[in-house]
Amino acid sequence: DSAVAVSVPEDGHAKPVGLYEVVASRSIVRGAPSTSAQAQGALPKGEVVEAELYRDGWIRLSVRRHGASAGWM
């Protein structure tokens, strides 16, 4: 499991919306931007997701993927 498992530009300033690729073996999608939030599902390495918001190192997914609800990762 990884808290944030997406590619982020080297300067650390991710774009607030756009496409991101899961770079860990899998990434947990959570109901809120916190590692203690309930898991909604998981996404596999290589999955490309669309983010509608970026906040404090977390992205909010705009659509469901692989059984995961729209949520945070």
pTM of the entire structure? 0.68
Quick check: 64 pLDDT over 70? no
Instruction: Give the torsion sign (CA, 44, 49, 54, 55).
Output: negative
Given a cut of 80, whether residue 16 has pLDDT beyond it is: no
Euclidean distance between CA atoms 73 and 71, whole angstroms: 7
**Residue 10 or 31, more confident:** 31
The predicted pLDDT at position 34 comes to 93
% pLDDT > 70, the chain: 67
- pLDDT exceeds 60 at position 2: no
Determine the pLDDT at residue 1. 44
